[in-house]
Structure formats: structure tokens, C-alpha cells
Amino acid sequence: MGSRDSFSPQADSIPVTELKGVGAKMAERLGRLDISTVQDLLFHLPIRYQNRTRMVALGELQPGMVVSVQGEVQHTEIKFGRRRMLLSMISDGTGHLVLRFFHFGTAHKGTLASGASVRCFGEVREGVNSLEMIHPEFHLLEQKNKNTSPAEQYLTPVYRVSEGVYQPALRLLVEQARNYLRKGALIDWLPEQVRQQFDLLPLDKALACIHKPPADASLELLDERRHPAQRRLAFEELLAHHLSLRKLRSAMQHHSAPVLKDTGLLTGQFLAQLPFSITSAQQRVWNEIQQDLRCAFPMQRLVQGDVGSGKTIVAVLAALQAVEAGFQAAIMAPTELLAEQHFTNFRHWLAPLGIEVDWLSGQLKAAEKKAMLAALSGGQAHLAVGTHALFQEQVMFHRLGLVVIDEQHRFGVHQRLALREKGSSDGSYPHQLIMTATPIPRTLAMTAYADLDVSVIDELPPGRTPVSTIALPDSRREQVIERVGAACREGRQAYWVCTLIEESEALAAQAAEDSAALLRETLPNLSVGLVHGRMKPQQRAPVMKAFKAGEIDLLVATTVIEVGVDVPNASLMIIENPERLGLAQLHQLRGRVGRGSRESSCVLMYHGSLSEAAHQRLAVLRESGDGFVIARKDLELRGPGDVLGTRQTGMLQFRVADLQQDQDLLPEVANAALLLLEQYPQQVTPLIERWIGERSQYGGV
Ligand code: ADP
Ligand code: MG
């Protein structure tokens, strides 16, 4: 166990061309399914199964059944109707059935000659005069064993196929690959002890069973992917991911980082000039960061804090520690709007302390940009704020000590890891602080962020009032507009948010422009502003500034304002078409209000009539203001890809495992990882390679 003991070749080094029936052409087709070795074939798992283990008498057939049947061909004919088709009638003495084919060759009719015994599998339908199967899978039985040939002994796997590689061929190939299992061609990297402790099947048994489940295996369990054989593989895959992130983390700990010795001078001045004192949660998280920054290896810390919990202050404190120690800090935000806001705030707070804050955006004029770049590389600028423009090649830092990534969920894991490289020199890396308002349930965080230390700001600043939330159909738009008008006349400020139709910033911008026009017309006494993602930062900035200053009553916006935007006097938010967004995203949006001491409200104005499920989702928001509760529900209702914002980024894409469904495995996976690292360290790398391969490098760290 665990070592390449026998001399049998290993499945990952046996090309598929070794198998019978695989020539160059077939190998190329298999390549399109990402199958090039016997191991790939073994891990090409069925997507579902068919039960052909029981033969049903023709007399017992009912429409809708998906079954195996057998009978003798009575007659076969080609019919010329609107479509040419081949019809074959079979019977078994208890009843009969018509087989109907629209695609057939000339030989087909002869094959299904009268008297032939045929076995078919397919779905039974109500035909014109009798029950029928359309395009059943079928094969002929030899006359001599037509009465003895047994039904299938195993459930039949159905695989993902591609052009030129169909089910029967694939099944035969997998069958051959299974034979290699018996020869020990696939080492089980999970030691006996681990398997026993976590109640896992041996790998070869699990794979053998998944490809060929015995007739008595539960089809229901298999289809829901809860069969022990499938769970064994899901466990192993999650374990491999978990271990790869852990390895990444320990690899970082072997790198060096600047020791950021703090004098407390700048941070003290900064805190003294704030109009409030920091919460004990902010203080605790800052202490944790302070400790990390004093270490000679790079900090990799994730700060989670609900919207409005005051993460920015913590980022400033960390940045000041870097500056005190004679280094620079870079703060990266996911949108221009948020970067601008940080820039404005930072400059406001830090200029009095004699700190120069630099600003890098994709939209800077060439001359401005040149000056900014020079200030960064020359070391005159202490702090750089910007979007991912910060990490373009031309950007050189003088002495970068800390990188802060705000609203991390908007970036992919690849970007996050690639950023570690930026600012590294001679094996020394900047410290990294990652901030997110997406509260990830603990078990999920263990897997998604196994490479990070996690701090939680679990307290909101005092004096916040909960946002009361209601859902209304947009047939009541007029009333809602009236209400907005009344609120603004009382001196309140409001957001009117037009949500994105997936991916289409252009359409959303259009919707926002239309809404703004309508609102200006209906509420002529109000000052209505507009911001959306298609405006240039130079166009948006004055609008945001005016809204912050209270000169604009009503701000119409797309979801560009979702992250970070902070205007405490705004206390009313209307969200159009909330049903288009996930709960976590709605919670983020709603977090723009309820920042001052005034009673705040949020109106979810949905379109048309909502499905039961959509009602339930919106109800979660009405009932809870706690980001963690909402995230958990969101996870239940939508799945982790959405919660983590990783749909497009390719992070956490599993072959077998499903974070949603296999959540309950995660704590055990974490324990198994520890056991493996401690007692079987030599198994770790091959395990990661099997499941992740080169991808384990993610950003190439
Ligand atoms: P988020 O965690 O969502 O990024 P911010 O950092 O934008 O939150 O903070 C939200 C608002 O709360 C800001 O106006 C900020 O100045 C204010 N704030 C932060 N910390 C405190 C505190 N300890 N007491 C009072 N207000 C605070
Ligand atoms: Mg923020």
C-alpha cells in the first residue's frame, strides 16, 4: 500500500492506445473527452445509470417505463409516410411492442428479420395502435441461447460521450480499463488507517463499483451521487484540493517577507483623528494582523466582515504599519467606483499625517499615469489605491510591504494567487490582506480558503438600525415612487438600483437611464443623479461626490454600487428586479443603507409574479439582516459557485465532488488532511497530482 510496490505499470502512464480497439483516430476522439490514459478512462465517471437487470414481459408494459424487453420479430417493414421509417413488431406471447426507427440503414431491415430474437432497452410510449419504443438500443440473441441468455447482471453506466465515441464503445473501453484495476495499476493513496477512520471504500473497489454497480445497488443513491463508492471519490477529490491549498500555504511560509516593525506613531495619530473609536472586533482583528506583519514570512490573512462592519479602517491600520516600517502598501478594489472612494477616504484621512496616496486607474491620462508610476517606483508615494490596474507590468514599487485586496470575492483565486508574485523579489513576498463581505460558512471556508488564516469582524459599529425590508410587485411602482418622493422631501437620501441582466452591463445601463428619466419626470422637485458602469470615472466621481454631500436626493444606479459605497445619510433603497440576483449580492446592496442612525428601509420591487422559490428567497432577506445566516441560505438555495462568486473564475471546479451536496464531508476532509500531512506526508503529492495535476499550481506559486 502506498508505494509503487509491484512492477505493474501505473494507469496514469498507460496510454489509451494500449487498449484493444483504440487506434490513432479513436485516441484523438477520446482526447476530446480529456481521456488520454487508462487512468483518465477510470475517472471518466458515469453521469447516470440504466437498470437493465430485469426483463419485463411485453404484456406488463406501461407507457413511461424505461425497461429491457425481449421478443421475437413478427414482421419488419419500411413505411413511407411524411417521414420514411422502419417499423418492427416483436412479441413474446404475453403481448407485443412496436420498435420505430427514423434513422436506419439498408441492412437494418434484414437484421430485424421475422423470427429473429431481439433484446431492447428504451422508453415505452403510447403508439397509434400499440405500445412502442422509438430508437431503442437493441441487439440480437443467438437462437440457441435466446431462452437462457440472462438479463444484465449490473446496472448499465451512461457516460458523457462525444462525436465518434458512443456508449457501447465507451463501456467496452472502461471494461478493459477496469481489468487494470485488478492488476494493481491504480495505487490507493489513502492509507488503510485513513480509510478505516473515515469509513471509506478502497479506491479500486469504489471505481469498479461506480462503473459497474451490482444489480442490487440503489439506483436512487447512485443518481443522487450518495452511494458509498461515489462518496469515496468525492472525499478523495475534496481532500486533494484541501491539501493543495495547504501546501500552498506552507510553501508561502517558507518564503520571506519584510518584517514590518510598527512604532504606533501613525496608527495612533490616525485613530485619534477618527470621529469614533473602533469596535472591539476591529481591535481584535487589527491585533491579529499586527502580529502577522511583524513576522518574517508573508501574512496571508482573510478578513471577513459583514457589510458595514468597518473593514476599511482595519485596512488603513495595516497599511500604516507598513508605512511606519518604511514600506509601501497597495490597496486593490474590484471596481473603479470603489477604488475612487477608497482613494478619496484615504487621502482625507492620511494627508494630515503627511502620507502620500497614489491613485492608479485604467482611465488615467498618460501624463498623470506617468507621474503616479514614477512616485511609486521612486518611493515618494507611500500608498497606492486602484483597481487591478495596480498590477499591470509597468507598475513598479519601490518597497512594497503589504497588498490589501478588498472585496476579494470579486476576484478569482487565480488572480489572488498571482498577486502574490507581484511585488516579490529575491524570494521575498509582500504580506497579503484579503477582505471580503461574503460571509462564508465555516466548513466551506475551510476548503475554499485552506491556504489562508481567517479573521472575522463579527460586530457592527454601534448605533446602526436594522434595515426593514419589504417585497412588492412592480405594479405598485407609482406608490413606490411617491414614497421615495416623500422620504426625500424629509431630507432623506435614496438609491434606486437597476439590476443587471446577466452579463449585460449595456442593458442595465440603459435600464438605469430610463429609470432616471422617469423619476426625474415624476419627481421634478428632486435632484436625481445617475451612475452606471458605462460611465467614465471622471463622469461618475462628481455624481458620487454630490450624493455624498447631500446635493443629490436620489441616486439611480446599476449594481456598480454594490460593493463598498458608503453614504451614511442614505436610508432608503429600491431594488428593481431583485429576483435576478443572489441573496448574498442583495444583502451587499442593501448594506448601502442602514449606515447612519436613521431608520432605513429597502424595497425589493419584483417583476411580474414570483415563483414559490423566489418568494422564499426574498423572504430570507426580509427576515434576516445577518450576512452569515443569509449566506447559509443562499448556499442551500443556489450552491457554492454563486456564493463564492466563482462561477466564471474556474476556482473549485470539481470532477466528482459537489461542495453543496458534499458539505457534510468537509470537516472530515480537513481532519483527514491533517492525518495525512502528519503521518503519511509522502502520499500527499501524488494525491494532489492525481486530481489536480498542473492545476495545483493555480497562480503558479
Ligand atoms: P465595510 O466593512 O462594508 O467595508 P466600511 O469600512 O465601509 O464597511 O465602514 C462602513 C462605515 O462605518 C463607514 O462610514 C465607516 O467610517 C464607519 N465605521 C467604521 N468603523 C466604525 C466604528 N468603529 N464606529 C463607527 N463607525 C464606523
Ligand atoms: Mg468595504
**Counting atoms of ligand 1 from 1, which one is nearest the CA of 277?**
23
Alpha-carbon separation of residue 502 from 405, 579, 645 (angstroms): 25, 12, 13
Mean pLDDT of 614-628: 85
Whether the CB-CB separation of 294 and 261 falls below 8 Å is answered with yes
Residue 700 has pLDDT above 50, yes or no: no
Strands 467-473 and 600-606, by their bridges, are: parallel
Residue 153 amino acid letter: Q
Question: What is 467-624's CATH number?
Answer: 3.40.50.300
d(CA 665, CA 274): 45
Three-state DSSP class for residue 637: helix
Of 68-82, 607-621, 628-642, minimum mean pLDDT range: 628-642
**Contact assessment for residue 676 and residue 684, using Cβ atoms and an 8 Å cutoff:** yes
* pLDDT at residue 150 is higher than 80: no
How close is the Cα of 407 to the center of ligand 2, in Å? 7
pLDDT band for position 698 (cuts 50, 70, 90): very low
616 pLDDT more than 90: no
pLDDT at residue 410, as a whole number: 63
Beta strands (DSSP E) in 577-664 are 600-606
Q: Quick one: DSSP state of residue 93?
A: S
Residue nearest to atom 14 of ligand 1 (CA): 566
User: How does residue 297 score in pLDDT terms, banded at 50, 70 and 90?
Assistant: very high
Question: CATH: 2.40.50.140, 2.60.40.10, 2.40.30.110, 3.40.710.10. Which one for 54-151?
Answer: 2.40.50.140
How much is the average pLDDT of 166-192?
92
Residue 610's pLDDT is 82
The per-residue pLDDT for 488 is 93
Span from the CA of 568 to the centroid of ligand 1 (angstroms):
9
Per the CB < 8 A criterion, the answer to whether 311 and 564 are in contact is no
- Residue 534 has a pLDDT of 81
Distance 248 CA to ligand 2 centre (A): 27
Nearest ligand 1 atom, CA 315: 6
Residue 39 pLDDT > 90: yes
Residue 86 Cα to ligand 2 middle (Å): 67
The stretch 600-618 carries a mean pLDDT of 87
What residues does each domain of the chain span? 11-49+158-224, 54-151, 265-457, 467-624
Chain-centroid distance of CA 160 in Å reads 22
Strand 84-91 vs strand 66-80: parallel, antiparallel, or unpaired?
A: antiparallel
| CA 540 to chain centroid | 31
Give start and end residues of each alpha helix (H) in 379-495: 413-421, 442-448, 477-489
Q: Please calculate the CA angle 552-554-559 and round it to the nearest 5 degrees.
A: 115
Overall average pLDDT of the 329-358 stretch: 90
The predicted pLDDT at position 354 comes to: 94
Closest approach atom of ligand 1 to CA 279: 23
Phi, psi angle pair for 404, to nearest 5°: -110, 130
Q: Is the pLDDT of residue 651 over 50?
A: no
Is the predicted pLDDT of residue 69 greater than 80, yes or no? Answer: yes
Q: Which of 342, 270, 344 is nearest to 311 (CA)?
A: 342
pLDDT at 349 over 60: yes
Q: What distance in Å separates the CA atoms of residue 435 and residue 359, rounded to the nearest whole number?
A: 20
Which residue has its alpha carbon closest to ligand 1 atom 20?
310
User: Nearest residue CA, atom 18 of ligand 1?
Assistant: 310
User: Closest-lying ligand to the alpha carbon of 311?
Assistant: 1
Each residue's pLDDT tens digit, 278-295:
999 999 999 999 999 999
pLDDT mean over 437-457: 76
Which own/partner contact pairs does 412-415 have at CB distance under 8 Å and 24+ positions apart?
Answer: 412/646, 412/648, 412/649, 412/650, 412/651, 413/646, 413/649, 413/651, 413/652, 413/698, 413/699, 414/649, 414/650, 414/651, 414/698, 414/699, 415/388, 415/649, 415/699
Q: Is residue 452's pLDDT more than 90?
A: no
The protein residue with its alpha carbon nearest to ligand 1, atom 16, reads 310
pLDDT of 415 > 80? The answer is no
CB 472 within 8 A of CB 319: no
Which whole number is the average pLDDT over 658-662? 74
The closest ligand to the CA of 313 turns out to be 1
Q: How far is CA 571 from CA 296, 406, 497, 597, in A?
A: 45, 24, 13, 9
What's the pLDDT at 503? 53
Q: How confident is the model at residue 656 (pLDDT cuts 50, 70, 90)?
A: confident
Query: Is residue 649 predicted with pLDDT exceeding 60?
Result: no
* pLDDT (0 to 100) of residue 635: 67
Pick from 279, 312, 410, 597 the residue to mutate for probing ligand 1's pocket: most ligand atoms within 8 Å of its CB.
312
CA 357 – CA 385 distance, rounded (Å): 7
Predicted structure pTM score: 0.70
544 pLDDT higher than 90: no
* Band of residue 652 on the pLDDT scale cut at 50, 70, 90: low
- Examine the pLDDT at 580 and tell me if it is beyond 90: no
CA of 515 to the centre of ligand 2 (A): 27
Distance 480 CA to ligand 2 centre (A): 29
What pLDDT sits at residue 41?
Answer: 94
- State the CB neighbour count (10 A cutoff) for residue 110: 10
Backbone angles phi, psi at 652, to 5 degrees: 50, 50
Mind listing the pLDDT tens digit for each residue in 238-267? Answer: 999 889 888 888 888 889 999 999 889 999
* Higher-scoring residue by pLDDT: 449, 484: 484
Domains 265-457 and 467-624 share a fold: yes
pLDDT > 70? residue 434: yes
In the DSSP assignment, the letter for residue 391 is G
| In the predicted structure, residue 699 carries a pLDDT above the cut 60 | no
Ligand in closest contact with the CA of 337? 2
Query: Which of 95-104, 285-294, 501-510, 560-569: highest mean pLDDT?
Result: 285-294
pLDDT digits (tens, 9 = 90+) for 456-510: 998 888 877 788 999 999 999 999 999 999 999 999 999 999 886 555 666 777 8
Would you say 76 and 109 are in contact if contact means Cβ atoms under 8 Å apart? Answer: yes
Percent of the chain clearing pLDDT 70 (strictly above): 90
Q: What is the band of 645 on the pLDDT scale with cuts at 50, 70, 90? A: very low
Of 286, 344, 404, 566, the residue with max ligand 1 atoms within 8 A of its CB, to mutate for a pocket test, comes to 566
Q: What is the pLDDT of residues 298-325, one digit of tens each?
A: 999 999 888 889 999 999 999 999 999 9
Ligand nearest to the CA of 459: 1
Containing 77, the helix (H) or strand (E) segment is: strand 66-80
Tell me the mean pLDDT in the region 69-86.
Answer: 91
Q: Does 646 score more than 50 pLDDT?
A: no
Write out pLDDT tens, residues 124-149. 999 888 999 999 988 888 877 777 77
For residue 31, pLDDT over 60 is answered with yes
DSSP string of 367-380?
A: HHHHHHHHHHHHT-
| Residue nearest ligand 1's atom 24 by CA | 461
Identify which of 206, 210, 216, 209 has the alpha carbon closest to the alpha carbon of residue 153: 216
Interval between CA 660 and ligand 2 midpoint (Å): 27
Which helix (DSSP H) or strand (DSSP E) does residue 68 occupy? strand 66-80
Backbone φ, ψ for residue 603 (5° rounding): -110, 120
What string of H, E and C letters represents the secondary structure of 280-323?
Answer: HHHHHHHHHHHHHHCCCCCCEEEEEECCCCCHHHHHHHHHHHHH
The larger pLDDT score, comparing residue 607 to residue 326, is at: 326
CATH class of the domain comprising 265-457: alpha beta
Cα-trace Rg, the chain: 32
Identify the pLDDT of residue 537. Answer: 73
Residue nearest to atom 4 of ligand 1 (CA): 311
Strands 453-457 and 300-305: parallel
For residue 249, give Cα distances in angstroms to 212, 298, 420, 451, 652. Answer: 39, 10, 12, 5, 17
Q: List, as one string, the DSSP characters of 655-694.
A: SS--TTTTGGGHHHHHHHHHHHHHH-HHHHHHHHHHHTGG
Residues whose beta carbon lies within 6 Å of some atom of ligand 1? 276, 278-279, 282, 305, 307-313, 437, 461, 564, 566, 568, 595
For residues 185 and 3, the model is more confident at: 185
What is the SS3 assignment for 450-467?
Answer: CCCEEEEECCCCCCCCCE
Average pLDDT over residues 554-558: 92
Q: Residue 447 pLDDT > 90, yes or no?
A: no
